Amino acid sequence: MNKYSLKEQIERGDLVRIVGAHNGLTARLVEEAGFEGVWASGFEISTSHAVPDANILTMSDFLDAASEMAHTVSIPVIADCDTGFGNSNNVMHMVRRYEAAGVAAVCIEDKKFPKVNSFIAGRQDLAAIGEFVGKLMAANNAKKTEKFLIFARVEALIAGWGLEEALKRAHAYIDAGADGIFIHSKSQEPDEIIDFCKSWNKRSPLLICPTTYHIPESEMRSLGIHIVIYANQSIRAAIRSMQSVLRHIRRHGNLRLEDKIVPMEEAFRLQGMYMMKHDERKYLKTEMGSIRALIPAAGYKVDDSLKPLVEDRPVGMLDINGKSVLQRNIEALNIAGIQDISVVAGYQADRVILEGVKIARNREFETTGIMHSVMQGVDAVADKNLIIYSDILVDSYLLEKLLKKEGDIVLVGDRSYHKINYRNKELELIVIDNPLPDSRRSIDTNRKNIVKKIGKKIPEEEGSCEFVGIAMLSRKGMQLLMDEYRIFGPARTLSFADFIQHLVDKNHEVRMYEVAGGWMEIHTFEDYKNACALFS
Ligand code: SPV
Ligand code: MG
């Protein structure tokens, strides 16, 4: 961002390079390319509406486009206001509206309304000097602040009236209070512009628009030129590129198109999507209050059958038909309305590349347990805090239902594990206080299901449910978890389930939300194959 206003930039004597744009996007590209200002070009705005640059659009159309640009960029926008959209009354209205819209300057030209673009042969009628001087005085009267500038554009060279007429007009316009003269030429050579500059002898700032002729930028300041306008090259580049891509698609479909177009991510960046997501995490509250999700994904211990697949990445980054396990869970969380997500990486952390989440690190993943990873991801406590293992896939509907459950610590337990042949896998089982008689069918009620025991040591026949690897903690529950973690010595090395057992032992209430499905684990190669088949 340039810390100087347009007026200050001119007063400092720097060459101000400005480039034509027609909407917020093109203005943003001009700013990102490093130019000092944006020209809200009548030619570009008209072209973008597919109408002639001949006062076909109304002032409101041009103003809409210019104010969109002014809101998008922090560099000054100079608005091309043609002949001022009518007589001096229209000019006053125009100045008030453009100044209020946040543009830095307007430029009006001394042709008759309706004008035609200066590069079109034929009718290029000039207004009487007195009439245009009246417009400039009206414009000066209408503006509210001194930093808002009014430039007068002299079209005498365009109309073929010669240097003397151009100079006569320019002097009259400066006398009437214009802040600078835009001297325009459609010649292929710079001679008439250079002659004008020399005769003008630096009486006021000069603006030029080299569209057909060329003057090296290094010579401009000594000629008294303060602002150079590259007025219409942006949209001409866009037209060429779009035509070429459209031809390509017509011939080859989208085959080998990627190097001709920007990736979607670049368009999202320019939209401000990532900035919006960042803000959303701070400000967007659901009717359930703020919600955060935390995914500990630092661990490296897996079943032998999975080892070859996770040599270079953690389980959460395993690809399930084009998307990682974690990315799929992030999408499920987003569908459930949760945007504030942190993933804690450890093993092969560099491979944890995810869109729209915060990545934290557990650098001691080899010597610590999941509980320690969880704590590395806590940078704030929300009204509801979800903890989700990284080696499971979960349905958004399960998360939506979980968020409606009451309790300070609620674990998700699956009752269907009894049916599954686990081949001696060590499951984290849960025992609840008042289990229902074993049955294959179940219904989602509001039973509290108070957890008595949890962990890998519980015999299968004793367990009520399998811990899914998903927990929800209220603000109070999360605070309790953090406080206990601080005071309980062995906490760093404990699994999450063992730490919950510690809380149960200390008589803290832990509840269980009983489900049958809605999630699946990726513990073995078989599990991985199943998941790939499911998402094919
Ligand atoms: C514009 O950009 O609309 C201009 C400059 O007025 S030019 O088209 O080069 O005349
Ligand atoms: Mg124009």
Q: Is the CB of 41 under 6 A from ligand 1?
A: yes
- Is the model more confident about 162 or about 420? 162
Q: How confident is the model at residue 520 (pLDDT cuts 50, 70, 90)?
A: very high
**Domain-terminating residue out of 181, 208, 232:** 232
pTM exceeds 0.85 for this model: no
CATH number at residue 279: 3.90.550.10
Q: How confident is the model at residue 434 (pLDDT cuts 50, 70, 90)?
A: confident
353, 487: one domain: yes
Q: What is the pLDDT of residue 76?
A: 98
Q: What is the pLDDT of residue 441?
A: 66
The token duo for 269 is 């960046």
435, 480: one domain: yes
- Per-residue pLDDT for 103 more than 70? yes
Taking CA atoms, 458 is separated from 46, 54, 433, 508, in Å, by 74, 82, 14, 20
Percent of the chain beyond pLDDT 90?
Answer: 81
Percent of the chain beyond pLDDT 70?
Answer: 97
Q: What range defines the domain where residue 186 resides?
A: 6-232
Q: What is the mean pLDDT of residues 431-446?
A: 76
Alpha helices in 13-87 (DSSP H): 24-32, 42-48, 59-72
91 Rama sector, left if φ>0, alpha if ψ -120 to 50, beta otherwise = alpha
Q: What is the pLDDT of residue 328?
A: 94
Q: How confident is the model at residue 283 (pLDDT cuts 50, 70, 90)?
A: confident
Q: Whose CA is nearest to atom 2 of ligand 1?
A: 41
Q: How confident is the model at residue 3 (pLDDT cuts 50, 70, 90)?
A: low
496, 356: one domain: yes
Q: Is residue 16 part of a domain?
A: yes
- Per-residue pLDDT for 45 more than 60? yes
Burial environment of residue 459 by CB neighbours within 10 A (0 to 12, 13 to 18, 19 or more): exposed
For residue 115, which ligand has an atom nearest its CA? 2
pLDDT tens for each residue of 334-369:
999 898 999 999 999 999 989 879 999 999 999 999
Which residue in 33, 40, 109 sits closest to 70, CA to CA? 40
Q: How confident is the model at residue 60 (pLDDT cuts 50, 70, 90)?
A: very high
**Domain-terminating residue out of 215, 232, 249:** 232
Q: Which residues, at least 6 apart from 340, have a Cβ–Cβ distance to it below 8 Å? A: 281, 290, 291, 292, 293, 382
- Per-residue pLDDT for 422 more than 60? no
Q: Is residue 250 part of a domain?
A: no
> How far, in Å, from the CA of 59 to the mean position of ligand 1?
16
278, 135: one domain: no
130, 205: one domain: yes
273, 129: one domain: no
> How far, in Å, from the CA of 491 to the mean position of ligand 2?
70
Q: What is the pLDDT of residue 302?
A: 83
Q: How confident is the model at residue 416 (pLDDT cuts 50, 70, 90)?
A: confident
Which residue in 211, 214, 215, 212 sits closest to 224, CA to CA? 215
Of 141-155, 212-226, 256-270, 300-314, minimum mean pLDDT range: 300-314
Query: Is 391 assigned a catalytic role?
Result: no
Q: What is the mean pLDDT of residues 219-226?
A: 97
Contact 69, 24 (CB under 8 A): yes
218, 276: one domain: no
124, 201: one domain: yes
How far apart, in whole angstroms, are the C-alpha atoms of residue 509 and residue 473? 11
- Per-residue pLDDT for 162 more than 80? yes
Label residues 323-354 b or e (16+ Cβ within 10 Å = b).
Answer: ebbbbbbbebbbebebbbbbbbbbbbbeebeb
- Structural domain count of the chain: 2
Q: Is residue 238 part of a domain?
A: no
Q: Is residue 258 part of a domain?
A: no
How far apart, in whole angstroms, are the C-alpha atoms of residue 73 and residue 38? 9
282, 408: one domain: yes
Q: How confident is the model at residue 274 (pLDDT cuts 50, 70, 90)?
A: confident
Alpha helices in 147-190 (DSSP H): 156-159, 162-175
pLDDT tens for each residue of 376-391:
999 889 999 999 999 9
> How far, in Å, from the CA of 114 to the mean position of ligand 1?
15
Q: Is residue 251 part of a domain?
A: no
Burial environment of residue 291 by CB neighbours within 10 A (0 to 12, 13 to 18, 19 or more): buried
Going by DSSP bridges, is the β-strand pair 77-80/409-414 parallel, antiparallel, or unpaired? unpaired
**What percent of the chain is helix, strand and coil (3-state, nearest 5)?**
40, 20, 40
- Is the model more confident about 40 or about 427? 40
pLDDT tens for each residue of 170-182:
999 999 999 999 9
The token duo for 374 is 């969880």
Going by DSSP bridges, is the β-strand pair 319-320/323-324 parallel, antiparallel, or unpaired? antiparallel
**Domain-terminating residue out of 182, 214, 232:** 232
Of 93-107, 339-353, 414-428, 430-444, minimum mean pLDDT range: 414-428
Q: Whose CA is nearest to atom 8 of ligand 1?
A: 43
- Is the model more confident about 247 or about 461? 247
CATH number at residue 226: 3.20.20.60
Mutate to test the pocket of ligand 1, among 80, 214, 227 (most ligand atoms within 8 A of CB): 80
Mutate to test the pocket of ligand 1, among 26, 30, 41 (most ligand atoms within 8 A of CB): 41
414, 463: one domain: yes
For residue 55, which ligand has an atom nearest its CA? 2
Of 188-192, 297-301, 415-419, minimum mean pLDDT range: 415-419
Q: What is the pLDDT of residue 383?
A: 93
pLDDT tens for each residue of 115-135:
999 999 988 899 999 999 999
Q: Is residue 112 part of a domain?
A: yes
- How many CB atoms are located within 10 Å of the residue 212 CB? 12
223, 278: one domain: no
Q: What is the pLDDT of residue 438?
A: 65
Q: Is residue 261 part of a domain?
A: no
- Per-residue pLDDT for 417 more than 60? yes
Q: Is residue 386 part of a domain?
A: yes
Residue from 53, 408, 498, 527 carrying the catalytic annotation: 53
529, 390: one domain: yes
- Is the model more confident about 109 or about 490? 109
> How far, in Å, from the CA of 205 to the mean position of ligand 1?
19
Across the chain, mean pLDDT equals: 93
